[in-house]
Structure 1
């Protein structure tokens, strides 16, 4: 199939991506790394020492820390220079999120400020609105909130009941309704509020905290994220000046675009939080002794350490590949031009599928590895003396926030199908040709045995996903009603993205560095076993659920696709043991 002339969201499934087309974290410049180091030092020097107070709900302290972060430029990356920001790349913004994550309450406050609070206005607001508010958000002078969710319309955004009605004199909108689960509510100076203005029209409004008729509920008593302020926000006929209204009739698009970026940024943070967890686990495994030996000597502990390192490597590979694609999509936008909203919307929607897939994978990996860290530490891990109980509680939100994972699995397939139906992607042609060996879906492996095996698995996962999509669309019943099958296919698609990202990062890095390739290849191989197993299990579930309508050729193709990384391809125990040695030698995540 002819390659697309520029990257399109979802196209990775239909064609081969070349290694030189992706960004990998090994490409960061010295200046980029200095910004990341600034964020890391800020976390360790100014935030983590106050963890106890933050977790007690000292929101005045959190506000002070946000102002300090603003003074260092850590809130200004997404805001263009013309509006008082730094205009950093998506890759560097992901790096900042990564470095700030280990205090997850502060990290979530930061994410709402810089992504959900700033981006709807940046993408859809007019020049005057952006000039008035974005400098305050970028500096930390004002704290931002994002008021979207309601009690009866969490994931069903279009079911919101909050209404904004023009006043009789046309100078205001009268806002009435109630928003729920609003992060930063207790410290926010400015809320971006989404409201219904017609039967199917939605609008965004900038509402200042001191507006008459705005009130807050009590702080929610949450499982985790104890350091964030989370309250209901009630609007009782609040008069919002017309000049504070933007995205008129397009408010749902403003919300969805911000959520796409939020999903990506949350999982960039997950990379950093997991690296910190692994470092603590490696240190404990070397110091803690049982039966006269460090527990790091034992096979099952090494299994956990290797799984952590491999899954972090895979998530990191996907996050920064996506960051590079987003940077390309947003390049060339003039933020204060008349066409900026149209260009911003197109860019923020382009890789929505990948944002959803990475969010699902990253949030579930965080959950799995935080739990494993508790297990590795035994009784100590179950106490509040160590940070793992807090990490486990806090990460649990990630599978719910920015769209529940069940919804996002459906969205992965829905968005892909929509792009095929509208002609953006040649999806139906790809489904028809999925079994053709003459149609490469993965870049050549260049004769490297380990990488060739990963490439085969990535190619097979792609073909399996396309074949399953073909069979799904041929069902007599509406395919959207078969949610279990749709979710399984989404898992195959996500695994395909992960496998190819592993493979492409290895190819790219082997050309970038003269360092030993062992940590790189070990991490990729161990992660590839897990991702291939995910693809194989999910695809088999989908095949079984599709029933007798699934042709035998598709079954054979599925078998061939997955046998490349069956457990008899490599010795997974030996791979994990050697990777664990590398982790212990590095005192944490190995520098690949």
Structure 2
């Protein structure tokens, strides 16, 4: 019998007053869906390391695939605060499911919208928005993660088509994706985006197994062995690392909100548990050390809520810098992972069971703290931004 999801979001500084009626309605809609469709099944899928494909239809109906993409292309045409709220509610349910939505919207639909031709937009975006097609994003390689400019995946101009060779690794959605946005080097050494479709000869997507993190998310490789790519499948409006990094900015923004959802869920779980659990004749919430932990959690959550809300305003005004997005991504994940570890201790032995979401969040966050810019890389991005000195090289 699935447990009832009792989640209540903390709002210590009354930040809901900064949200519009539409934002609050979107949040309620997504939260209700998470409680009804995701929470009852996610523990079983995480334990069994299976991806709940049945959720894709609901995510599409919520508008979680490309929420900021204009309505004319099948998107929801929402602002960035709405996008952040959606990712926060979905990741509160599970990071792996938020990853699926983030990849579809920020890493597949966004590059086609921003860098694609009008023909590509009309062909792919409506189907991706409706979930009829699912996508993935190929940037990371077995030997090139934080240094994507060193990629070896390449394509050659064969006259009427391109020939693509190479491999990508740690790709969310790869095992079931219908289309991959793949970044590869031309013969001139310039990075371009190519749209690679399932069924193209020489293209395979082996699944990655034995993960202790994001167990309810489908992860795999992309392998290209002399794959013929039509010339019309090259994204025409961008060249260089600016292309993939622009996509990552979109996704990192979603993570900044999303990871905070994990923090809020762990805090809410710990707060409820400590009020109910009795030791030495009283609820453990009455003990000073437990209150210290809870007080520190809500303080960090409140600071992070203010940070992502302000970032959302800047994003709506097209003023958010990549470095500002990096700071928020790093801060939210660090806040979440620290709170998850503290909350796990507060629940004692119960904290390691699937009876509660904390251990699953903890394991998931170990991936979130690494992907789309590692914790250390984001720190160096801030360092470079404030000093003008590049510590990467």
Q: Normalised by the size of structure 2, how large is the TM-score?
A: 0.91
SS state at 2:58 partner:
helix
Distance 2:269 2:174 in 1: 33
The structure-2 alpha-carbon separation of the partners of 1:140 and 1:255, relative to structure 1 and needing over 3 Å to count, comes to: same
Q: How does 1:50-449 map to 2 (within 5 A)?
A: 50-55=41-46, 56-59=48-51, 61-62=52-53, 64-101=54-91, 102-167=93-158, 169=159, 171-247=160-236, 250-329=239-318, 351-417=321-387
Q: Give 1:417 shift.
A: 5.0
Which has the greater radius of gyration? 1
1:72 to partner: Cα distance = 3.0
Q: CA deviation at 1:85?
A: 1.3
Quick one: structure 1 residues 482 and 164, their matched pair in 2 at CA, closer, same or farther if it must change by over 3 Å? closer
Aligned to 1:6: none
Distance in 2 (CA, whole Å) between partners of 1:414 and 1:210 is: 43
Q: Secondary structure at the match of 2:176?
A: coil
Q: What is the rounded CA distance, in whole Å, between the counterparts of 1:301 and 1:324 in structure 2?
A: 35
| Counterpart contact for 2:353–2:359, Cα < 8 Å | yes
Give the secondary-structure state (helix, strand or coil) at the position aligned to 2:217. coil
In structure 2, the residue corresponding to 1:257 is in which secondary structure? helix
Q: 1:25 to 1:261 in 2, by over 3 A?
A: farther
CA distance in 1, matches of 2:115, 2:133: 20
Are the counterparts in 2 of residues 194 and 251 from structure 1 also a CA contact under 8 Å? no
Report the CA distance shift for 1:53/1:136 in structure 2 as closer, same or farther (over 3 A): farther
Instruction: Compute the TM-score of the two structures, normalised by the length of structure 1.
Output: 0.61
Q: Structure 1: which 4+ aligned runs deviate by more than 4 Å? A: 479-483
Matched residue pairs, number?
A: 377
Gaps of 5+ in 1: 1-23, 330-346, 419-478, 484-592
Instruction: Describe the shift of the 1:58–1:383 C-alpha distance in structure 2 as closer, same or farther (beyond 3 A).
Output: closer
**1:388-441 alpha-carbon deviations (Å, 9 max, x no partner):** 1111101111221001121121112324455xxxxxxxxxxxxxxxxxxxxxxx
Distance 1:67 1:240 in 2: 29
Aligned twin of 2:26: 35
Q: Which residue of 1 aligns with 2:6?
A: none
Once the two structures are superposed, what CA deviation does each residue of 1:436-470 show, in whole Å capped at 9, x if it has no partner? xxxxxxxxxxxxxxxxxxxxxxxxxxxxxxxxxxx
Q: Tell me how far 1:328 sits from its aligned partner.
A: 0.4
The whole-number CA distance in structure 2 between the counterparts of 1:25 and 1:203 is 42
Residue 159 of structure 1 and its aligned partner are, at CA, apart by 0.4
Shift of 1:249: 6.1
Q: For 1:246, what is the secondary structure of its paired residue?
A: coil
Matching residue within 20, 40, 44 for 1:49: 40
Output one character per residue of 1:454-504: Cα deviation in whole Å (capped at 9) or x when no partner. Answer: xxxxxxxxxxxxxxxxxxxxxxxxx54599xxxxxxxxxxxxxxxxxxxxx
Structure 1 residues 30, 288: CA separation in 2 closer, same or farther (over 3 Å shift)? same
Cα displacement (A) at 1:218: 3.3
Structure 2 gaps, min length 5: 1-14
- Which one has the bigger helix percentage? 1
Q: How far apart, in 2, do the equivalents of 1:27 and 1:187 lie?
A: 39
Greater Cα shift, 134-143 or 246-255: 246-255
User: What SS is found at the alignment partner of 1:155?
Assistant: coil
User: Paired residue for 1:424?
Assistant: none
SS of the residue corresponding to residue 174 of structure 2 reads: coil
Q: 8 Å contact 1:247–1:254 — kept in the other structure?
A: no
